[in-house]
Amino acid sequence: MDNTNSWKSSLGKFKISFYNSVYIDENTKQELLLDLLQYLFSENLTENAKIEIVLFIEQNITFLVLDTDGAEQVFGSLQNLFTFLGNHLVALKCQVLLTMTVVANVFDFKNEKYDLYQTLLDQLLDTIFKVNNGHPLLRKTCSQCLILFQENFDDGLLEQMSTLLATAKGERSFASYDHSILLAFLINHITGLAQRSEIQLDEKLQAELNKSISFLIDQTRSLSVTGLLQLLVKLLPCLDQGRISRNLLNTIMQYSIQSWDVLLTYISIYSQMNYPSLLQSQQADDQIMTTLMKLTLSQNMDQNYDELISLIHYWIDGLFTNLPRTVNQSASFMMFSSLQPTIYDNMYKFPAKYQTIVNISERCSIEIPAEVQNSMLEMVLRHASSIQTNKDTSSFFLCLFHLYCHGSKKIKDQVIALIEEIGVKNVEVSANVADFCQSIEAHCEKGCSKAVWKAIMKRLLNFTLKEIAASLSFYLLYVQYVASIKEIWPMAIIQKLQGLVQSSLLDECSWENGSQLLSVCTEILLSNGQKAEIRYGVASILWEISQNFIDYNICDRAMFYYLTIGNVSHEYFSNILIPHSQDKNQNVNHLGEVAKAINSGLPFIKEVEESFLSFQMDDCNQTYVERVLPDIPEKSPAQIYHETLTKDGNFDKIIQKNFLLSYKDDLENKETVDDIFGIEVEIISEENHTSAENVSCPYLSKRKNTKPEGQRLAVCFTFEKPCAADFKTRITYIDRQNECSVCACQSFQLSFVDIIQPLPKLSTGQNIELFHQLWNDIINDQKSIENPTSMKALSVKVLHNSTQEQLLTLLQPFTLDDDQDSAFLKVGFYLPPQSTILMKFESSEMRTIARIAVDNYTLLDDLDRYLNKLANS
């Protein structure tokens, strides 16, 4: 007992065993419980320690105590402790009372140990009634303990209502909140007993109830939000249709100015508990319900309007389902009248109103009254003029959709007329009009939107090029929707688009506009592509796009569609179109797709012995891949260089070269194919250390006015060794007779000159530092004898009849910024995958000395030939 830490040791061992699911026998439990109860009477323990012990007993009471006798022992020890503590250590006394209450509740002392139950009840009431004596925290705790009893309230407690009411009125401390909640719980318990006919409400008890309710209504003005909500939960079911309930409503409405949650909770609870009985009672007084509806739809409740409307949806989804149809009709018409739009409504509240009206109608199978429909239509007509700038455009069209679905024939005609007017005058809402038409086609009769589209198409055909340019995206979107309707003959649209693509407007089109034009063409082909005149008209549009559009990807797609229109069946063509709707940043090369599409039905591929095509490197447009090293703090440029080359797989292996695919020049007297398409160039490497990607182009022509220089194609090469490589080429193509042919083209080589690339760049001012560090690394390696297998090497070469100025001109892409050392010209080569060549040129008169450092000595022979060629150029 003297060791103040012994209780922690015992408790800790028990918790470890308990949480690890270790079996604990009954004797051990009993010993622990007795030890803990003894520690409570120790003078060496602090108040906090004892509170922790009491709380542990409360939380594990069902584990420590198995029967009522054991519970009586614990209860008695806690009662003695409470008496032993006297008037000090208030926090500990409060915890003891709470634990005694839990023990009495868990082990049902009211039926099993009534004398102990009555003793605790008297002790709690005596403490509460001592308003002028004792600590407020203790009185507050006693009220909380009594609340814990709830349904186990004793009849003796009911007789104390008048005293409890007087105590609550006289309390001036923070305990008054809990006294009020206890009073509300007691009122709720009494009315519940009366409704179940378990007690008889005499005049005296009824008067006490009325006084208590009146007091609690007054208290609502001073309670916190949490307290008021808890009060409402218990108090609202007890109210009738009399003065008290109306007074409480007025109080709540006033209180809601400060706390919106209180008002929402009140409406929700009251509607759930009282509304069905109000509607079914013979003396139905709907004053409160009407007041709630008006409050819900108040013009001043903009901020929380959606939350209030959602409560009405609860009545629709829950209550109306279980009520008789007559009651549903009564409730629905009352709500219809309350929700009916007025001239004061704005577009913010209107969507919630009409959506609720529609939900009531569908849920209760009740037609929306004609006057309500007319009010809704007047509302949308009032806002139709500002539809272009209204942020609630979607809500506007959704309301039109509901009016069309639920309205009379007259209203449907008015809605269609309004949609026609809006669609014709405002191309900016084309997407909304299209969604509306698609929705009514899906949910109503087929063909109901045809009149809308015909009116819109008539207006579209009258647009001038100037009007089209002002709203090109919306215009093309409209045209696309109209073109998708099979019942509308698209020839007039095709003629309009032919004029558009032949005008200067095509030069101003963005990628998005080009994609829209192609989508319009595909919609026309999918809906009416079986007819020859339609295919010819669309083909002329696609040809103009492929030849004159500013974006290569759009040209490529247009040519793809153009070449496949007449060469495959309509059914197969519809399958080809859809997958090619691409994103702007998706640079797709149609690798052999035309050939695949058209060749799907061909029996064989014809081999051509002599090729009339040329595929060679385009020297006039030599480009280098610019590589930039990442910025890694606390690492030198040389470390960054080596780590990047060894870790990043694609960084150090790929180079890109430009090639020209064209007809050969010596074909004047030879028979050739003038037009070929679906061209795929297969590049075959003769070494295993280098590979190349195949390339393709959609179309190549020998005829006049069709780019006589041919097609430039970019080829990516991947290197595993820094060596020259030889390649063969095979070209597959399709001619105008739908024959697929393949021919071998000339071979080519990537030499040392083609492979070399500039050194990767670092951040500004560090490139020359990278050069020096790499140079020193090679020098230090040559001085060391520890690495006999090193491939690094140093060399010197003399270039006659060459000056530093000449070299600077020839080696411009590979030179590095000098660091105030004008005597040397510094040049760096990078060869994929990981090789480096560094050179310092020093010129005097007509001779230049080149000092060379390489990390792969096998490159010296190629470099020597390259420098000789450079000196003689």
Bigger pLDDT: 294 or 203? Answer: 203
Say what the pLDDT of residue 227 is.
Answer: 62
The answer on pLDDT for 8 being more than 70 is no
What per-residue confidence (pLDDT) applies to 596?
A: 55
Q: Is a pLDDT exceeding 50 seen at residue 290? A: no
What pLDDT was estimated at residue 298?
A: 44
Q: How confident is the model at residue 281 (pLDDT cuts 50, 70, 90)?
A: very low
Q: For the chain, give the mean pLDDT.
A: 72
Q: Token digits for 305?
A: 């309007």
DSSP-derived letter for residue 818 is -
Q: Count Cβ neighbours within 10 Å for each residue of 568-586 and write b for 16 or more, e otherwise.
A: beeeebeebbeebeeeeee
For residue 244, name the pLDDT band (cuts at 50, 70, 90).
Answer: very low
Each residue's pLDDT tens digit, 295-306: 444 443 444 455
Residue pair 147/185 in contact by the 8 Å Cβ criterion: yes
Which H or E run includes 676? strand 675-685
Top pLDDT among 13 and 687 is at 687
Kindly state the DSSP code that residue 653 receives in the 8-state scheme.
Answer: T
Amino acid at 456: I
If pLDDT is split at 50, 70 and 90, which confidence band does 854 have?
very high
Length of the chain: 873
Token output for 74: 């614990």
Residue 23 has pLDDT above 50, yes or no: yes
Q: Give the pair of three-digit tokens for residue 49.
A: 């320690």
- The vertex-583 CA angle with 582 and 584, nearest 5°, equals 120
> Looking at residues 78-90, what average pLDDT do you find?
81
**Rounded distance between C-alpha atoms, residue 410 and residue 415, angstroms:** 9
Indicate if the alpha-carbon torsion angle 743, 748, 754, 760 is positive or negative. positive
For residue 549, the 8-state DSSP code is -
pLDDT attached to residue 852: 92
User: Rounded CA gap, 510 and 514, in Å?
Assistant: 6
Exposed, middle or buried: residue 612 (CB in 10 Å: 0-12, 13-18, 19+)? middle
Residue 606 is predicted with a pLDDT of 78
Q: 675: part of which helix (H) or strand (E)?
A: strand 675-685
Lowest mean pLDDT among 294-303, 364-373, 671-680, 766-775: 294-303
Buried-state track 388-404, b at ≥16 Cβ within 10 A, e below 16: eeeebbebbbbbbbbbb
- Whether cis (ω within 30° of 0) applies to the bond prior to 833 is yes
Report pLDDT digits (tens) over 269-280. 555 444 445 444
What is the second-level CATH architecture of the domain 757-871?
2-Layer Sandwich (3.30)
Taking 70 as the threshold, does the pLDDT of residue 439 lie above it?
A: yes
- Summarize the confidence of residues 123-143 as an average pLDDT: 76
Give the Cα separation of 272 and 805 in Å (integer): 95
- The pLDDT value recorded for residue 571 is 55
Token output for 184: 């509300």
pLDDT of 594 reads: 52
Residues 6+ apart with CB under 8 A from 843: 802, 803, 804, 807, 825, 849
| pLDDT at res. 575 | 55
Q: 613-754 domain in CATH 3.40.50?
A: no
Q: How far is CA 198 from CA 54, 184, 194, 316, in A?
A: 38, 19, 6, 35
pLDDT tens by residue, 394-407? 667 777 777 777 77
180 or 659, higher pLDDT: 659
Query: What pLDDT is stored for residue 420 in this prediction?
Result: 73
Asked if residue 139 lies in contact with residue 171, where contact means CB atoms within 8 angstroms, the answer is yes
In DSSP notation, 686-744 reads: SSTTEEE--EEEEEEE-STTS-TT-EEEEEEEEESSS--EEEEEEEEEEETTS-EEEEE
The C-alpha R_g of the chain, in whole angstroms, comes to 46
Q: Helix or strand or coil: residue 229?
A: helix
Which structure tokens are listed for 287? Answer: 């004053």
Cα–Cα distance measured from residue 618 to residue 356, given in angstroms and rounded to the nearest whole number: 70
pLDDT band (50, 70, 90) for residue 54: confident
Question: If DSSP codes are grouped into helix, strand and coil, which group holds residue 615?
Answer: strand
- Please indicate whether residue 675 or residue 285 has the higher confidence score (pLDDT): 675
Six-digit token string for 534: 């339609």
